[in-house]
Every structure is written in C-alpha cells, then in structure tokens.
Amino acid sequence: MATLEVAGLEKSFGGVRAVQGISFSVRPGEMLALIGPNGAGKSTCFNMLNGQLRPDAGSVRLLGREITGMAPRTIWRLGVGRTFQITATFGSMTVLENVQMALLSHHRRLGGLWRPVARMDAAPARALLERLGMAEQAARPCGILAYGDLKRVELAIALANQPKLLLMDEPTAGMAPQERVSLMALTAQIARESGIAVLFTEHDMDVVFGHADRILVLDRGRLIAEGAPAAVRADPKVREVYLGSGAVTGAH
C-alpha cells in the first residue's frame, strides 16, 4: 500500500488557482521529488499535506487513512515528519534538547512538572544525533548553529517520532554543495532502511536528479510530468517549462 495518496487536491487564493487537481502517491522507502519553477504551487501543495493549509477540494490519505484538513500536530502524531524551507528549531535549547522535545512529545510526556528534561529521553536523542553525524554538536544551543547543521537537526527532530512519511521543503537550501550531497545521501539511506516515504521539493537539480527515485513536475498549479528522472529529463513539456534556465540539461 502507498504511504501517501493524494487525489484531486485543489487550492485557490482569491482568483489564483494555486493548485489544480493534483493526484499522486508515495511508496514506503521511496524518494519522491516535487519540482517546478517559482510559483508553481509546490509550497501550497506541501502545506496542504501537513495540515497548515486546508484544501478547497481533494483528499489526502496516510496509510489509507483520511487526514485532509487535520491540524498539523494531529497529522504529526499519525507519523508525518516535517522539515521547513527556512529552518524552525527552538533557539533557546541545545541540539540535544531539541530532539528530546520531539521524543517527549511523541511519548506524550510534555505535561511533566517535576522531573527535569535533562534526564528524559536523552539516550535515544543522542542516538538520533549520532545517526545524523551531529553527536558532537549535541550540547550547543540551536540559536548559534550554522545553517547546514540546523538542517540536520531538523531532520533528527523529524525522525524522532518514527515517521512513515517525511515532508522536506527544500531540504538543502542554504547549504554548501558538499553538504547537500551528503545530507541527501543520508536521507535516502535512512528512508530505505526504515521504509520511510520521503516527499521533497528542491531547486537544486543535482540533488533532485541525483537522489530522487521519481519526480513530479508542477507548473502553474498543474502536474505536467511524472516519472523516473531520465524520463522526466527527456520530457519536452518539462524542457519547455524550464527553457532558458538550462537547469535540466545542465544537471549532469
């Protein structure tokens, strides 16, 4: 069964039809890239999947369960991790504490008034950071971390509730080219090992064509192409959308 099934998703802002009847699905362990020029509707689409926006029409199903219109925090509890285009972490907490928060929330232990956080879920949080190569940074405050490291912390947070689906909005934006490749390789590895379905948007075509198993191309709110990287690259409609930017042909 597909992890995520999206059918006939629609959203308009005033007179602008930002997303028009999009359907697709993501399988466990699959890396699915959502690409398209600026304003194609990628972010709108994303925000409807995790509950930040309510779609005008269409349905979103997670493991066969209807999650359309649910609050982001409810959707998270059902197993959807999320990273943001502009990182969002808790700046007044250390890297370790950030991950602990996600774990504590997952275990529904945030109401505690007595036991200090320092002694709760520290070991599993450390293990997650270890997995992402962030163990050495564990004690540093997120507020002073380099941007690339913050992206990794976000990934660690997103993985804390053992998600079935990861939604990553431009996971490598603002990172150095070297870091990009290693982060995406790591993400792909984790996804395959744990059978997590990953849906990501990305502007960097190296990242997209290097790591996606499948690609969806959006243009002006419509899905114009879908398929394996090679097929998408050869698709004349995709070339037309990206014409002049050279991004698709210049990828390799």
Partner 1 sequence: MENLVLQALSGLASASSLFLVASGLTVIFGVSRVVNFAHGSLYMLGAYLAYSLVTTLPRGHLGFWGGVIGAAVLVGLIGLVVEVLLLRRIYRAPELFQLLATFGVVLIVQDLAQMIWGPQDLLGPRAPGLRGSIEIVGMRFPLYELFLIGVGPVVLGLLVLLFHRTRWGTLVRAATQDREMVGALGVNQRMLFTSVFFLGSLLAGLGGALQLPRESVNLHMDLAIITEAFVVVVVGGLGSLTGAALAALLIGELHAFGILIVPKITLVLVFLVMALVLVVRPHGLLGKPEAAARGGQGSAEPVIGPAPPALRWLGLATLAVAVVLPPFLGDYAVSVLTELAIAVLFAASLHLIMGPGGMASFGNAAYFGIGAYGAALAAQWLGAPMLAGLALAPLAAGVFGLLFGYFCVRLSGVYAAMLTLAFAQIAWSVAFQWVEVTGGDNGILGVWPSAWAAPKLVYYYLALALCLGATLFLRRVVHAPFGYALRAQRDSALRAEAIGIDAFRIRWLGFGLAAAAAGVAGGLFAYGKGSVFPTYMGIPRSVDALLMVLLGGVQTLSGPIVGALAFTGLQEQLVRITDLWRLILGCIIVLLVLFFPQGLAGAARARWEARHGDA
Q: Minimum Å distance from CB 235 to partner 1?
A: 34
Q: Minimum Å distance from CB 240 to partner 1?
A: 35
Q: Minimum Å distance from CB 8 to partner 1?
A: 25
106 vs 180, which CB is nearer to partner 1? 106
Q: Minimum Å distance from CB 143 to partner 1?
A: 3
Cα–Cα distance for residue pair 61/63, rounded to 1 Å: 6
12 vs 105, which CB is nearer to partner 1? 105
Q: Minimum Å distance from CB 203 to partner 1?
A: 19
With b for 16 or more beta-carbon neighbours within 10 A and e for fewer, the 166-202 pattern comes to bbbbbbbbebeeebbbebbeebbebbeeeebbbbbbb
75 vs 205, which CB is nearer to partner 1? 75
- Chain residues binding partner 1 by CB under 8 A are 50, 71-74, 76-77, 82, 84, 86, 88-94, 97, 100-102, 104-106, 109-118, 120, 139, 141-144, 157, 160-161
Cα–Cα distance for residue pair 18/15, rounded to 1 Å: 9
107 vs 252, which CB is nearer to partner 1? 107
Count of CB atoms situated within 10 Å of the CB of 155: 23
Sign of CA pseudo-dihedral 96, 98, 103, 105: positive
Q: 112 burial class (0-12, 13-18, 19+ CB within 10 angstroms)?
A: exposed
Beta strands in the chain (DSSP E): 4-13, 16-26, 31-35, 57-62, 65-66, 80-83, 165-169, 197-201, 214-219, 222-227
Q: Minimum Å distance from CB 34 to partner 1?
A: 18
